Structure 1
Amino acid sequence: MYYTFQSMTQEQAEVIAETWRYQGDYSFYDMDADVEDLEEFLDPEKRQDSYFVVLDRNEIIGFYSFQRPDSATVELGLGMKPELTGQGAGAEFLIAGLQFAEAKYHPKHFALSVAAFNKRAIRLYEKIGFKKTESFVQATNGGQYEFVKMAMKTDG
């Protein structure tokens, strides 16, 4: 695949929020599963320059958010189009996002948080080089859920 990253437009945010629906337990990741997350995702000021869509031949196949909690770290959030998940494209998608963020932000570390039940994603992150650093419980999606925080050093 050939990935292109571009700043997320309002129209793209609305399409993702309104039409991307994940199956089974993964419906946890539907944008409208958490009111606060949805509000941030749909607010251009809150998205600012930190949300990007990933295109493959002009089709949105995913998105990333990149936050800078400090000058050495990029914290990422990501989502892949539901029809593409679980089909072996995750590693390539993740590596492309990390390469984009490394070139744009030059961090010393990457960090992310993932729902503890999402063993598929955790395996992928570990395969790429992320290590578990802590577990925590967070209120989201109308309940209390366990998350795993993971981090990875960059080449920079």
Structure 2
Amino acid sequence: MISSPLTFYVVPMEPLHAAEICEWSYSPPYNIYGWMSWEQMQALGVEFGDPELRQEQYVSVVNGQGDLCGFAQLFPMEGVVRLGVGMRPDLCGHGMGHLFMTAIVQAARARYPEREIDLEVLTWNQRAIRAYQKCGFTITDTYERRTPTGNKPFYCMVYEE
């Protein structure tokens, strides 16, 4: 049984955190959220493997003991900051998602106070959708988007204070 941390904190993503995230392994059907190896990400300079992009857009989410619990990408768009999030696999499904998301939303609001906050989620991922809704997100649109395994249906969810 995993005890719920009282608070999550958002901090700059360090290379050590990035390397740890690349080792996470999710059970199906969530295994589609895995990353390539840290060495590959660095060699290709993609996502948080690019030091500049990591500094500008990625943050780590830690608990009060400083343990890595997840990450977020705060992707700036015109008038919007789009969130991409990932929680450490062993913490998923234990009712902490809304606390995790609240910390990320606070960080996004601090960095981009004038922008709307949204995210995209696969329509089948009801576990994540429930956590997002509990945090204050509402489904505003449904569409198909290309993924590595073909077009899939997504919801766009917008944060409402």
Give the root-mean-square deviation of aligned CA atoms: 2.2
Contact 1:108 1:153 in 2 (8 A): no
TM-score using structure 1 length:
0.85
Contact 1:74 1:107 in 2 (8 A): no
2:145 maps to 1:141: no
Instruction: Please give the alpha-carbon distance, in whole angstroms, between the structure 1 residues aligned to 2:14 and 2:124.
Output: 31
Partner of 1:112: 119
* Structure 1: unaligned runs, 5 residues or longer: none
- Structure 2 residue aligned with 1:2, among 7, 14, 33? 7
Instruction: Please give the alpha-carbon distance, in whole angstroms, between the structure 1 residues aligned to 2:158 and 2:140.
Output: 7
Contact 2:82 2:118 in 1 (8 A): yes
2:29 maps to 1:22: no
SS, match of residue 46 in structure 2: helix
Q: Alpha-carbon deviation of 1:108? A: 4.3
Contact 2:75 2:83 in 1 (8 A): yes
Partner of 1:64: 72
- Sequence identity percentage: 33
Amino acid at match of 2:11: Q
Q: Which moved more, 1:103-112 or 1:73-82?
A: 103-112
Q: Alpha-carbon deviation of 1:61? A: 0.3
Q: Which moved more, 1:136-145 or 1:117-126?
A: 136-145
After the TM superposition, which residues 77-156 of structure 1 pair with which residues of structure 2 at under 5 Å, given as runs? 77-154=84-161
Partner of 1:55: 62
Q: Alpha-carbon deviation of 1:52? A: 0.4
Amino acid at match of 1:5: V
List structure 1 runs of 4+ shifted beyond 4 angstroms. none
SS, match of residue 56 in structure 2: coil
* Structure 2: unaligned runs, 5 residues or longer: 1-5
- Structure 2 residue aligned with 1:76, among 67, 71, 83? 83
Q: Which moved more, 1:83-92 or 1:127-136?
A: 127-136
TM-score using structure 2 length:
0.82
Instruction: Please give the alpha-carbon distance, in whole angstroms, between the structure 1 residues aligned to 2:82 and 2:34.
Output: 20
